[in-house]
Amino acid sequence: GNVSVSIATFTKTLDEYQSLARQEIVPKKQEEAFERVKRFREDLSDFRTQVDSLKKAREDAQHQDNRTELLGRRPYNATPENPYANPTTTNTHSVFQPRHPTQSGGHLTTGSPDEMREAHAFREQNFFSNTNQALDDYIARGQAVLGDLGQQREMLKSTQKRLYSVANTLGVSGDTIRMVERRAKEDKWIFFAGVIVFFLFCWLVLHFLR
């Protein structure tokens, strides 16, 4: 559903961020960017595994609840699962059998429904706790990335001014300079779009998993 769409969107954002990292001209900064992408992909893989595990747990719990409900609705004189469990099916009672069977023989007990629901709720609570912790880690790392990118942006602005000064000195045409500026603006908008998609993904996960 929406969680799958959010995961796909975040994967696309990571692909865009990796594409921007390839354009980094400083080798050290590029290596750090690639390392961040790698960690984000590992965290995303763990998160996807936890989501799949929760879905399976919910399906199993729903199946068990439905089965327990069906067994609870079954009357005492209904056909048992094993047709040979009670060979006498006539209206006449045997002298060796009690006329009113005890209630303990009328149901098939596979475990208390309350215990199963409690165990499922405990697993779900643990999953949500781990999910919130993972999201906090994502946000903290995202803030660190934004801080690093802000510093890089200031450095690039100062470098860009020096390059423009050198280009004017060397006689580079104004069209070339404007083309470079346009490309820089496009990269900036792509980056901000990726940041918006990332925070939208975090909001969707928090909204639909709580």
Q: What's the pLDDT score for residue 165? A: 67
What are the extents of the domains in the chain? 2-71+109-209
pLDDT > 90 in the chain, percent? 0
Q: Which has more pLDDT, 7 or 203?
A: 203
Q: Give the per-residue SS3 of the chain.
A: CHHHHHHHHHHHHHHHHHHHHHCCCCHHHHHHHHHHHHHHHHHHHHHHHHHHHHHHHHHHHHHHHHHHHHHHHCCCCCCCCCCCCCCCCCCCCCCCCCCCCCHHHCCCCCCCHHHHHHHHHHHHHHHHHHHHHHHHHHHHHHHHHHHHHHHHHHHHHHHHHHHHHHHHHHCCCHHHHHHHHHHHHHHHHHHHHHHHHHHHHHHHHHHHHC
Instruction: Please give the Cα distance from 208 to 177 (Å, whole number).
Output: 47
Instruction: Please give the Cα distance from 20 to 36 (Å, whole number).
Output: 12
- At 145-190, the pLDDT tens digits run 766 666 776 777 777 677 666 656 655 556 666 677 777 777 778 8
Q: Which has more pLDDT, 94 or 13?
A: 13
Query: What is the residue-averaged pLDDT of the chain?
Result: 69
Q: Which has more pLDDT, 29 or 111?
A: 29
- At 4-49, the pLDDT tens digits run 667 777 777 778 777 777 777 778 878 888 888 888 888 878 877 8
Q: What's the pLDDT score for residue 102? A: 44
Which candidate, 106, 111, 112, 47, places its Cα nearest to that of 74?
Answer: 106
